[in-house]
Structure 1
Amino acid sequence: MKRTTIAVIGVGLIGGSIALSLKRDPDIRIVGFDVRQDFLDKALNTGAIHAGTTDLQTAVREANVIFLAAPVEQIYAILESLRTLDLQPGVIVTDAGSIKTGIVNHAIRVIPDHVTFIGGHPMAGSHKSGVEAASDRLFENAYYVLTPAPGTPEDKVEYLSELLQLTRAKIVRMDADTHDQVVGAVSHFPHILASALVNLVAGYDDENAWHARLAAGGFRDITRIASSNPRMWRDILLHNREHLLQIGRDWSKALEDVMKLVEEGNPDGIEQFFQSARDFRDGLPERKAGALPPLYDLYIDIPDHPGEIGRITTLLGAKQINITNLQIRETREDIYGALRITFQSQYEMEKGEELLRYFEYNVYRR
């Protein structure tokens, strides 16, 4: 049987995770492309790809499917390059960008007739970057959105959907414009809000340094996405401009409404504001992957005496449970501190929780 060749353009977190997922099929050969040889070397060393090259033509020459796992702005340039290269007849080109309308429309304009483009967006991520953080579990149970343009051959969409089952994601189809509006509301605009809040507090801190001191803890949690790549988010906002402008107008109206309730001293209205938000949030699926990277945190009550943290990390390490971060939170008035452990995946978090409970630690999730 002839092997299927997959070209992954961009071997970072997303490209590497796609490659690792597809490698579950032994009849698939993965060729990686990147402009940096050291990135390719890392991808080869981690086993994400079978071969790597810095020459785009070499990467795509034999490919049956091409994944564009590059930043949004670069996807446009890569599509332009592909139309000048030798590609296999019937090849499928898909991307992993978080904006779909502009990319899909551009692809329709520039790709050759013998190429099928299908927009894609795996809605999962990590707080770490690079192929070193890639995992074949990254997309598990997450939504993977496909946005085929009208007239896209159904057999091509079905083939790509079947291939992506190897990621163990939930494959859904959506109109590209609808995708951009929804993701704008649940991912792009929250990044604006988080950064705006951080900048506001930073301005206050110039006058009173207690803002930064007291902002640790919960403030860091709710604004964690403000630490995202500024250039990447610059490009995302510009490419989803129209939807974000409308969401911004809606947000301004919502903020104005609640501030009016505060101004009027309306207790029932204020309580209902928080109640409706609580009801909707509590109804969201627990631990389900979404547009924003989830937190895989456990909190453990630990007595404040020597050796306890070492014992916990030793227990986890003995079971090959990977820890990505540790933080001691001394916000309590009793004799216990709170140790926050961050895991790379839900699977490792659940294994860690089970193990620590077995050893009678008080473990909880926020």
Structure 2
Amino acid sequence: MGGRRQARRRPDGAGDGGRRARARRGLVATAGLGGPVALIGVGLIGGSLGLALRDAGVAVVRGFDPADGALKGALERGAITDAAPDIAVAAEGAEMVVVCAPVGDISAVVSEVLAVTDAGTVVTDVGSAKSEVLDALTPVERERFCGGHPVAGGELSGVANARDDLFVGATWFLTPTAETRPDLLERVHGMVASVGAVPVAVDVQVHDHLMALVSHLPHVMASGLMRQAAVTAPQGREALGSAGPSFRDLTRVAGSSPTLWADILLSNRAAVLDATRNHRAELAEVEAALERGDRAWLEGFFQSAAEGRERLMRADDAVVGEVVRITVEVPNRPGVLSEVATVLGHAHINIEDLHLSPARADEPSGILELDVAGDDAARRAAALIADQGFRVTEGA
């Protein structure tokens, strides 16, 4: 069916125009996290998540981490309320388990957590490569798993550097599948919003290709430039001694953990290979332009890059508008919430909050309520959802 857009502004004062303010106003009720949350790994990301969840009102946050001193540090910082001796004890009875293990270990840990938890527990992770984890799961296991990736971090690792505001305003990608249970996706979405992040649902392959381009390839390039500069000394003049601020900025991430980044590249190898091939092709075009002395092409190359940079800066400075609620009639079938959320995520439309009321046995459809910031974003969201065949109506 086609759709019409009738949206209403939220009456709760959420239209304050400030993502940071909205996100930190105690949205834990939206997350539905009345029970324990388990963190498998309590380093910088896990520790920061624990602090943020405790700040948002989650009463019980259990932690497990095999690293020496990690649990003691997390307890001392208040990032967890209980230290568990193993994964099974940490996950027992938890409403949500967040796997914050090193990227190379995530797939195995997710499988272990799913094996020791029941149907009421949702499992998510924080890794920057998603396909490898999903590929290892059966369709039944995928029902309780929703991949996640907070685009946040710091130069210093470990729970000692954890911060309760690390995720405030940060994009937190979610990669639900057609098998992901809607009630569990809603729970993960609410948790992400409760710690101040902006949940954005995307297809898993889209996520991995995006990260290969904007994160993984830049790390490779920074390390390659640093390696080249470190061994170059024309006529005895060491290149590193001639480096200015721009080189330092460009290669800052070259100081990241070698073990971590080897794991990340191997976990996302297909997408990274695509990115490196595309970049080699672009460098070949630059070489060809230089060989033929083509000033016009070179100026166009730099001009298009400058325009892209300007769009990036405008996006960072964009003002978040008043929150508008959109209500959608959705059929009672698997994957419908993932489908809607992913369509909006691909269009760069952030869902501030969502709630799904499934259809009863005697009803043909359920009700999905979405809160979107800004009239323009709400209009685009309603149109996109209607284009998928859903009926978009005014909220109750």
In the alignment of these two chains, the number of paired residues is: 286
Which 4+ runs in 1 deviate beyond 2 A?
24-28, 79-85, 107-111, 205-210, 285-289
Q: Out of 229, 242, 250, which is 2:270 matched to?
A: 242
> Hey, what does 1:275 align to over in structure 2?
303
Instruction: Report which structure shows greater RCO (CA 8 Å, sep ≥6).
Output: 2
Q: Which amino acid aligns with 2:240?
A: A
CA distance in 1, matches of 2:93, 2:233: 57
Alignment check: 8 A CA contact 1:201 1:211 kept: yes
Q: Out of 213, 220, 226, which is 2:241 matched to?
A: 213
SS in 2 for 1:196: helix
SS in 2 for 1:16: helix
Instruction: Output the TM-score relative to the length of structure 1.
Output: 0.73
> Hey, what does 2:125 align to over in structure 1?
95
CA distance in 2, matches of 1:161, 1:89: 18
Alignment check: 8 A CA contact 2:148 2:175 kept: yes
Displacement after TM superposition at 1:110 (Å): 8.5
SS in 1 for 2:60: strand
Instruction: Output the TM-score relative to the length of structure 2.
Output: 0.68
Alignment check: 8 A CA contact 1:64 1:88 kept: no
Q: Out of 101, 105, 108, which is 1:70 matched to?
A: 101
> Hey, what does 1:137 align to over in structure 2?
165
CA distance in 2, matches of 1:287, 1:135: 25
Provide the aligned C-alpha RMSD in A: 2.2
CA distance in 1, matches of 2:33, 2:284: 62
Are 1:50 and 2:78 matched, yes or no? no
Alignment check: 8 A CA contact 1:5 1:65 kept: yes
Displacement after TM superposition at 1:207 (Å): 6.6
Are 1:167 and 2:195 matched, yes or no? yes
Pairing 1:325-336 to 2, within 5 Å after superposition: none
> Hey, what does 1:323 align to over in structure 2?
none
CA distance in 2, matches of 1:195, 1:50: 39
CA distance in 2, matches of 1:27, 1:270: 55
CA distance in 1, matches of 2:181, 2:304: 43
Q: Out of 33, 36, 39, which is 2:70 matched to?
A: 39
Displacement after TM superposition at 1:90 (Å): 1.4
**Larger mean Cα displacement after TM superposition, 140-149 or 151-160:** 151-160
Q: Which amino acid aligns with 1:179?
A: H
CA distance in 1, matches of 2:292, 2:44: 49
Alignment check: 8 A CA contact 2:33 2:95 kept: no
Displacement after TM superposition at 1:107 (Å): 3.2
CA distance in 2, matches of 1:132, 1:110: 38
| Structure 1 residues 49 and 273: CA distance shift in structure 2, 3 A | same
> Hey, what does 2:137 align to over in structure 1?
107
Are 1:232 and 2:260 matched, yes or no? yes
CA distance in 1, matches of 2:70, 2:205: 33
Q: Identity rate of aligned residues, in percent?
A: 36
> Hey, what does 2:5 align to over in structure 1?
none
Are 1:59 and 2:90 matched, yes or no? yes
Displacement after TM superposition at 1:250 (Å): 1.0
Q: Which amino acid aligns with 1:125?
A: G
SS in 2 for 1:171: strand
CA distance in 1, matches of 2:185, 2:140: 19
Where does the alignment leave 5 or more consecutive residues of structure 1 unmatched? 290-366
Alignment check: 8 A CA contact 2:52 2:195 kept: yes
Q: Which amino acid aligns with 1:182?
A: L
| Structure 1 residues 207 and 57: CA distance shift in structure 2, 3 A | farther
